[in-house]
Amino acid sequence: MTRLFAIGALVFALAVPRAASAADCDTLGLGTLVYAQVGDTQSNLMKRLGRALRGNTARPLTLVFRTSPSCVNIDQIFLQTPIPAATVMQYVPSTTEDAGWTPASPTLTCTIPAGAGVVPDVANSALFNSACPNGGTTPAHVKTTNGATQAYVFAVPEASTQTAITFEEAYFVFGFGTAGMVTPWNDEAQLFIRALTTSTLLAWAANISVPGPKWKGAQQTGTMGSSLVVSRLASSTSPEKAIGILGAEVYDNERNRLNVLAYRAKGQYAAYYPDSTATSRDKKNVRDGHYTVWSPTVWMDRVNGATPLNADARYIVDLLTSAPTVTPAPNFDMLGIITAGGLVPVCAMRVQRSFEGGPLSLYTPPAGCTCKYERLVDTTSCATCSPTQACTTGVCRDGFCEAP
């Protein structure tokens, strides 16, 4: 047990940003800064993109970000509320500053400059904005664009023998708590949930028909809520009874300590993992609709009419949302960064929905990337192609014969 706590403490310590300097962000010589406020499920993505942007030769940028619940982020940019002076922000070092830095390394920190604070240039919610109390109507000064798909999971400790949960079980477990009498998840102290403003809870809420305020369980709050859920699950003294909610990409980085549960949606004949098997990483069931608990990531920047207030912020949003044309072209593979961040690019999706937890319908992306995505996460059976090797069927795109 002591060992478990020690491991948990170590992981938590590694996840916490490292305070390299308490200096104002604009005094560190970091170049052009873009301030972002994102959900904590997007941390992996921010770290990877932040690193790439520091070295983006044609348009080097420093992404200065902090994490907070999705609904808070929506309010922040909708109301144009400044992040207060002295608030601790995160950023990643450039290759010149730290050649050995990897996404597994902690971020560096700086603080919002003295003065009136900074309204975030970019804000993110990891679910449909309409699922948040104030997110239904976008003000004229904000542009919203949907980006890659974020899946959510029920996770249990590695020691748990549970493999699946049904819609009905989840309804009773989280809507009734102990009174729901669903074995083995009948101890509310072992239900590790997130704050009511987080995408993780609200996405699950919409999918299991338990509104956020009705949820039973032990809320893990703060900017490191996902990390707390992970550590609570991993160190639970009642692993069979323990269950928690996480972003799929958070779980993906904790597979050595946690297991994901297959989920059977209402009206579904079998339960499915987000991936094609419990151990794969292909998000196949997210992409084709067998795993129903997912949301779009929504990226927001400020505008004056149709003109972005900050062209660099729009550049980043364009990258994150796979805009058809991003100028100047980055010197990195954005699809690879999105995929490595644990998200599914829209071009790899074959289903869509229009509101949180809403019914799925078929979707055909304008320029599919299923083959490339599958190759990035694992292997693909797609044929390869090149300028001298045409496709027998399909369209040659990024070296693969993709569906037209």
Partner 1 sequence: MKIHRLLFALPLVFAAACGDDGKGAIDAPGTVDAPSDAGPPDASCFTNPTTYNEIINACTTAQKVFKDSHPPLLMPDGLVPPLP
Q: Where on the chain is the footprint of partner 1 (CB under 8 A)?
A: 158-159, 163-166, 168-169, 171-172, 175-176, 179-182, 209-211, 214, 255, 259, 262, 264-273, 276-279, 284-285, 288-290, 292, 351, 359-362
Q: What minimum distance in Å lies between the beta carbon of 10 and partner 1?
A: 21
Considering the complex, state which of residue 210 and residue 371 has its C-beta at the smaller distance from partner 1. 210
Pairing status of strand 395-397 against strand 400-402: antiparallel
207: left (phi > 0), else alpha (psi -120 to 50), else beta? alpha
63 φ/ψ angles, rounded to the nearest 5 degrees:
-85, 115
d(CA 338, CA 342): 7
Q: Closest separation between CB of residue 95 and partner 1, Å?
A: 36
Least distance from partner 1 to the Cβ atom of residue 168, Å: 5
- Ramachandran angles phi, psi of 39, nearest 5°: -70, 155
Minimum CB distance to partner 1, residue 191 (Å): 15
Least Å from the CB of residue 265 to partner 1: 6
Give least dist CB 242 to partner 1, A.
14
Query: Which of 28, 351 has the CB closer to partner 1?
Result: 351
Q: Which two tokens stand for residue 346?
A: 């829209």
Based on CB atoms, which residue is closest to partner 1, 282 or 312?
282
Place of tokens 């899946």: 151
Nearer to partner 1, 289 or 341 (CB): 289
Could you say which DSSP state residue 393 is in? S
Distances (CA, A) of 52 to 126, 141, 262, 333, 367: 22, 28, 34, 9, 24
CA 188 to chain CA centroid, Å, is 26
- Give the total residue count for the chain: 404
Nearer to partner 1, 99 or 269 (CB): 269
Does a cis peptide bond (omega within 30 degrees of 0) precede residue 328?
yes
Give 206 or 313: the residue with its C-beta nearer to partner 1. Answer: 206
The terminus-to-terminus CA distance of the chain in angstroms comes to 54
